[in-house]
Structure 1
């Protein structure tokens, strides 16, 4: 992966982390957790991210023919 590809992947990871944290915090706050508890839930949501889903799809032999 080149520099541009690395940057794209880094941006995807950052966006996924922010979204997971936002949703985790909102869910926890709506459930009545205090700010500290909601923050812990947000961090937990980031830790549970499946980073494999953010990786680019592997190239197949057909891709290399073009």
Structure 2
């Protein structure tokens, strides 16, 4: 089901940028707004650094990576 969305108090420079982007893409500002929202909200979420580190395989002992000189 489609829903109407009203966005108020948009800075003039943001509204102008939206209109310029819409014109460059051959769309209305409203259609461009829909495309931007869809692109941002439906893309996969970025993984956090903690998630990336946790997914790394266990490949040795901590001492193998100790670069401190004694």
When normalised by structure 2's length, the TM-score is: 0.40
Higher relative contact order (CA 8 A, sep 6+): 1
Higher radius of gyration, 1 or 2: 2
When normalised by structure 1's length, the TM-score is: 0.42
